[in-house]
Structure 1
């Protein structure tokens, strides 16, 4: 099973943990690392490395971080650069994280990255447009029989 480490600013990771647990139950090989005000970026990287080592069973580790280019993403990327079988996705949302937990068995790490990115893109919706499309009747097809 691919290990997952979720990280973000302040209580992003711990907040997501409560949502993931409510939706998917307790998850093995999944850690949540908050980057709080009292931590240095070196402290964050040390915690991320420890979490990655803890969840890695040899099939790889996927980091899911809140903001691309933010400290959690940057420090996870530093780990990716010197550790085999590590990937990082910045800008992760709850559907991506929950589905990563569900989809990580019986796939390779690169496949999981593609699945998670596809889910993330598919779950971003303009709800006004979705509502309006649902309320607009479909154009009736013309039946040209008897003409």
Structure 2
């Protein structure tokens, strides 16, 4: 079984989960961690360590963080070097999160992560440039679907 930990600065992780549940309904395999001004690095490390080491026997953690090089990702990376039994993907966005969490268990962890990263990249579109490239197209050509 896969368990996802959304770990970000501030309350962003909580908002991601609320958005996920708005789109896909209640989830039981997702938890969150938020790094706030009130948490020291040591306190954050202990909280994350507790989350990542308190898991069921058949559970695999996949940690989604907001920014490479940020304190949350750095702490998770230090814990990964100690425990080596979870995955970290950074650069979290909504397409990535939806792809990963809604993928089910059909794909291997590696394939699922590859799909999530692909979705994250494909979800970044500069709409102005898209419209500029499609000038002269019919109105139906400009319709973008999910």
TM-score normalised by structure 2 residue count: 0.84
Question: Would the alpha carbon gap of residues 26 and 55 (structure 1) be closer, same or farther in structure 2, given more than 3 Å must change?
Answer: farther
Structure with greater Cα Rg: 1
CA distance in 2, matches of 1:93, 1:4: 14
How big is the shift at 1:55? 5.3
Q: What secondary structure sits across from 1:103 in the alignment? A: coil
Is 1:92–1:120's contact at 8 Å kept on the other side of the alignment?
yes
1:46 and 2:46 matched: yes
How big is the shift at 1:126? 0.6
Structure 1: tracts of 5 or more residues without a match: 139-147
Structure 2 equivalent of residue 93 of structure 1: 93
Structure 1 equivalent of residue 6 of structure 2: 6
CA distance in 2, matches of 1:44, 1:93: 22
Q: How does 1:45-84 map to 2 (within 5 A)?
A: 45-54=45-54, 57-84=57-84
Question: Would the alpha carbon gap of residues 10 and 28 (structure 1) be closer, same or farther in structure 2, given more than 3 Å must change?
Answer: same
Structure 1 equivalent of residue 105 of structure 2: 105
1:121 and 2:111 matched: no
CA distance in 2, matches of 1:125, 1:98: 17
Q: Which stretch shifts more, 28-37 or 44-53?
A: 44-53
How big is the shift at 1:117? 0.6
How big is the shift at 1:104? 4.1
1:132 and 2:143 matched: no
- How many aligned positions are there? 138
Structure 2: tracts of 5 or more residues without a match: 139-146
How big is the shift at 1:14? 1.0
CA distance in 1, matches of 2:30, 2:55: 6
Q: How does 1:6-45 map to 2 (within 5 A)?
A: 6-45=6-45
